[in-house]
Structure formats: C-alpha cells, structure tokens
Amino acid sequence: MDWLALTLAGQSPVSTQGRTAQLSWHWRGPGLLELIPHESCDEAWVISAGVHGDETAPIELLAELTADWLAGRRPLACRLLLILGNPAAMAAGRRYLDLDLNRLFDGPRASDPPGAEPLRARQLEAAVADFWQAAEMPIRRHYDLHTAIRASAHLRFALLPAQENGYDAAMLRWLPSAGIEALVRHSAPGRTFSHFTSARFGAASCTLELGKARPFGQNDLRQFAQVKAALAAGVAADADALAALPQTEPKGYRVSQELRKHSEAFVLHLPAAAANFTAYPQGTLLAEDGPHRYRVQAAREYLLFPNARVAPGLRAGLMLTEIPLSQLADQA
C-alpha cells in the first residue's frame, strides 16, 4: 500500500486494514493510518505532517518511514497514529485552501468561517481523541512535522506549546538526538495542532521545523536523515540507537512578543529576506499597524516567522529572547 499516493489521489485502499508479521494497520480515513504492534507496549505516539500542504519534506520523510514499518524493515514498539494533515492542500501544492489549518485547533468553532480547513481540524481532533481513548497508554507523544517558509539560522528547531509546568524530560532528551538546534517556548496558548494535543490530552507535544518549504520531489531528504533515524528509534523504544546519534546542544528561546496584524494597514519594517532567528537590538521598529507600534523591548530579540500577508487578526511574526535550557526542564 502506497499511503501517500492514495492520500494525494483522494482514494482509499481496497482493504482498510491488514496484518504483517509485527503489526496490524488500520486506515482511519483520508491521511489517517494507525499501526498497532503485536507486542504489548505502554506508549502511544502521533506523528503528523502536511498540516501545511506545501511543506513537503516532512511528508516525504513520513511516507518513507511508513513504507518501512508496513514492510517490516523497521521495528515498532508503540501504538502509532500517522497523520497527513491537509491532503487537499497537499494535492494542490498550496499551504492551505481557505484558512491556515494550524490556527484552527481547539478554539471557538462558531467563530471559524466556512471552508475546508475548519472541517479538517475537527476531523483531526476527533481522530486523535479516538486514538488515545482506544489506546489507553500512560505515555503520549505528538511530533508535528513542518518546514519554514524562509531561511533560518537554525536549520532544524522545535516549538514547544505554552504550558504551566516544564516539558517532558524524555522529549527534551529526544530532541538533541534528532539534530534539533533550537527550542522555542511559547508564552501564550495557541490554536496549533501541537498545543491542542498538549493541552487536551497531556501529551508530550511539539512542532518540529525542518528546513525550507519546497515542492514534492525537490527535497534533499539527506538533510533530515537524523530526524528520520530519531523518529524510528523513538517508536522502536531503542535507547541505544538514540544514544548513538550525534547529539546537538540546542539553544533555548522563549516568545517575548507577538507581532499581531490588526488590519490591512499592517506594515512590517524588516527586510523581505530576513532569516528566522535574525537578531535585532533594543528599540528597533519592527512593525506598525495604525496606532500599534512594535519595537524590540529587550536588549536583543530574535525574529521568527515574519509574514505580513496573513489575514487580519493573526500573528505576523514572533520575537524571541534567549533563555537557559534549564527553564524548559520537567517540573511535574
């Protein structure tokens, strides 16, 4: 079964379930595939990609891993839900069709305008809820794989959803094994997929940003070999394989302010080619929108995800300050 090809074509397999020597698989709907190992386990993982349809490298990476698991080329020691988030946008080669899917999770549904993405958000929320309710595993993890729109000073970085306590220690150990170069802690709740799974289900969740968005077939997946190896070792519960991978020493950041677009008068006073994690000194005028002025407040702040083309009401960028990694440790 070619999971990615079927998903892009909007088709279902002839059979919606099957069995291999090491696992059973279940097609749960478009872009939704559940793998259940025959051996008992105590972890339930969700790995998602394609929430933004034009971020193709993680989609191709996840498709390769899925083919390996189905063919028995890689071991599996956890219950696993694989998600291709926005198949219609993937097939169209677009970030989204109507609305940014990664701004639509776990919010006031009545306020969401009509479109393909609000419906898909509800489908993914229900799929994750059904998965973890059926799995009843004490350990829950979710890695949502993305690529950035623009170049970045850190090729691979992780976004940690806002939460009161620190973050899961096992996840913080796994991230350097995956070659992650920076960890960014959100300071306020959001409507992203990883925040939804963290807040609603207590999962150890994060968004992984892996390189730059390119069309299907134009990705050099060798850049992401370490992420692929770390995901494979993680779901195999292979601590030795994880320890054998080169370990990064990621930098820590927290979100210090959001650049919120209130109206179409919003102007971003930054170079169009400014890379993620570019540093700016205190007082720098970053953006303005009518009476709103955004300036660097700390001695130095770092730019992340600037995008003046978002719809009014959404964030048009984040500013970060550096923090010690000790501020991310598990405090539970």
Write the pLDDT tens digit of every residue in 40-98: 999 999 999 999 999 999 999 999 999 999 999 999 999 999 999 999 999 999 999 99
- Residue 255 belongs to some domain of the structure: no
Range of the domain at 291: 260-328
Shared-domain flag, residues 168 and 98: yes
Instruction: Name the nearest CA neighbour of 56 among 81, 33, 85.
Output: 85
* Residues 52, 173 within the same domain: yes
pLDDT tier at 332 (50, 70, 90 boundaries)?
A: very low
Q: Mark whether 217 and 312 lie in a shared domain.
A: no
Residues with Cβ within 8 Å of 181's Cβ and at least 6 positions away in sequence, in order, are 154, 155, 156, 157, 248, 250, 251
| Residues 223, 153 within the same domain | yes
Residue 54 lies in a domain: yes
- Same-domain pairing of 213 and 264: no
Q: Distance (Å, rounded) from C-alpha 61 to C-alpha 66?
A: 9
pTM of the model: 0.93
* 244 Cβ contact list (under 8 Å, min separation 6): none
Domain count, the chain: 2
Instruction: Say if residue 31 is in the same domain as residue 167.
Output: yes
Both 272 and 192 in one domain: the answer is no
- Residue 142 marked as a ligand binder: no
Report, as residue numbers or ranges, the catalytic residues.
209
Asked if residue 312 has pLDDT above 70, the reply is yes
173 and 31, same structural domain? yes
Q: CB neighbours of 255 closer than 8 A, spacing ≥ 6?
A: 184, 185, 186, 187, 188, 304, 318, 319, 320
Q: Please check if 55 is assigned to a binding site.
A: yes
Quick one: 240 and 266 in the same domain? Answer: no
Is residue 135 one of the residues assigned to a domain?
yes
Shared domain check, 197 and 63:
yes
Name the helix (H) or strand (E) containing 25.
strand 23-29
Residue 223 class from Cβ within 10 Å (0-12 exposed, 13-18 middle, 19+ buried)?
middle
Contacts of 154 (CB under 8 A, 6+ apart): 181, 182, 251, 276, 277
Q: What is the pLDDT of residues 273-311, one digit of tens each?
A: 899 999 999 999 999 999 999 999 999 999 999 989 888
Instruction: Enter the tokens of residue 38.
Output: 């025959």
Would you say residue 208 lies in a domain?
yes
> Does the annotation flag 262 for ligand binding?
no
Question: Do 214 and 74 fall into the same domain?
Answer: yes
